Structure 1
Amino acid sequence: MERDLVIGGLFCEIPAGDAPREIVFIPEGKHRITPQSHPKGIEVNVPAERGDEAAANLQASLAERLTKNVGPWTDFEHTRKYPVSSYPQSFRYEAGKGIMMAVDWSGSGRRAVESRDVRFFSPEVYLDKNGFPVGLPDRGPVGGLVTEPAFRDSPPIAASNAADDPTDQQPSATMKLLLASLGIDPAAADAETAGVRALEALKASLATATKSVTDLTTERDGLKTKLTAAETKVKEAAEKRANDLVSAAVADGRIAAKDEEMQKEYRERLTAGDTFAEKILAGLEKKGAGLDKPIIKTGQGERLTAGALDTKAQALVTAGDAKTIEEARELIFASDPKAYTDYLATLSAA
């Protein structure tokens, strides 16, 4: 939504006497003004039929600022600095006058008003493209006491009416709905103050809930990290155990050293926790079983000749225990380390 921040230009006269509890923030009706923020002029529009709506917009902005550490305030001459002239308390609409702002005067503000050092108030407010009030600045003053107005046609404020007439203090329809939603009786004398406190409590509860969510998120992330680390350790342990079992099977001849495809399959199944695969692996017949028995016997001992080796190797290939003669020889030598020495000896003797 497009909106313009209007600073100054619209001035409301403050009557003589004691500093009033309420002042006119924006007069009712349509006004063409030339504020500091818009030297070419801008239109401010508060039609009677939308007076309660305008007041509710400003009250919502005020309630939000009252929950912050630095609340809303007004200055002198739009200087936007010390001293503070008043502290806004609430907004309401009064037919025939406009949007009224209840204030808590500072010492300097009260003295300036009662001594007639200043006679006018000038607001700072956001307007939509039609000049209708939609909110207050998020920080800084929401208006100021001024001495030289550029717009003098705003109606004067009767301080006694605002302070003494109980009917003037009744919340608008919008405010009643807001207070009711907070569980507050709109007719109570301190209804608006109680509303502000309720909003502050809601904000505190939201902050607490937000912190709890943040803490839970941090705790969840920590547990997730620990779980990931634990899963990694379990996986590494499973992989190591699978490698050890397969290596043992290769070493004792249950799986051929060159049969990498079978080794890979068993590693994957064992890593995945396949207990049936582990039983099958343990029950595999050792290839070349019985090769440790002597093949050739002589009076000087038992030796494996080249011919006998090839005969034995061919038998293993025929039986399907080895794919090639070379693989079969490796199985024979693996089953009997001394066979390789004897084989070399027979070659030398020849």
Structure 2
Amino acid sequence: MLLEAAPGTFAGMKLATASTTILSSLGADGKAPEWIMLFPAGLISAQDGRQWVNDDPAQVADKSLRGVDLPIDWEHAADHKAPKGEQAPAAGWIDQVEVRDGAVWAHVTWTEAGRASVESKSYRYVSPSFLHDSGGHIRRLLGAGLVNRPAITTLPALASGTTSDPDMEKALLDALGLAAGATTADAVIAIGKLRGDLQTATAAVQQPDPTKFVPKADLELALARASTAETKLEDNAKAAAEAKATAAVDAAIAAGKIAPVSKDHYLALARERPAEVDALFATLPPLGLAQVSDKGGTPPVATGQLTAEQKALCAQTGVSEADFLKALG
């Protein structure tokens, strides 16, 4: 990296010029860009080992323009020739400075000669002239110069002659969310945005929003209450089923459809298969000895014996005939 240290200091600050490429290539129409990037965000390293830090871009943008436009000349004539009384004509004028994702950008109104130098590729790089403190922190932009020996080679040339970077790998474009025709300038901007997103995410992790989290004790209490409520619902359901089964069996006994001795048997069935037991009770006839008519009909059954209907009932219910007779008394 070429670093040209200009003589003198300004209120304790040092003057430096650093050749760097501009973060904007020629457009499809081959015209010189109106906006150029002079300082990328964060640390700026020189090839000779020296470094600067663009850690307060807002201050740089605020203090650079003080009622007058800043010149862009050729080969830093304003820093080297003008102090000797030699001419230092302008190739363009910086009339706006703003911050984009931590980088310092400048709007340039080119002169005819300056525009011709850029669009003809006679000059392909720009070198900002700036003030920095003893710690290398950039404090103020003084101007810039068109040069042909870049210091920071990670950015595209001012007059690159193309709108895309053919060496950009598709995987990198996909990772940055860029289309196939993206330039390196687009990539640098995307990286700056990613850096900002990462800083925001890191701050959110370090200082979580208390409204989005529940204290552990409150969560455990809520889970315990939910478990208790679920248990109560299950107990209530079991109690209701037991009451329904008992009522159905008691009703069948009262109607004389089953013998009291069979109650436990039918309760077990009613608990497991309530619908089937209800259907059985609906079709069972009342128990009792068959009546004999003087005019004919079913012959009387000897005492101690079951009727054909009662025997069939025993077969359906699984109750032995002896138990059935015992229940009949």
**TM-score, normalised relative to structure 2:** 0.38
**TM-score, normalised relative to structure 1:** 0.36
Structure holding more helix per residue: 1
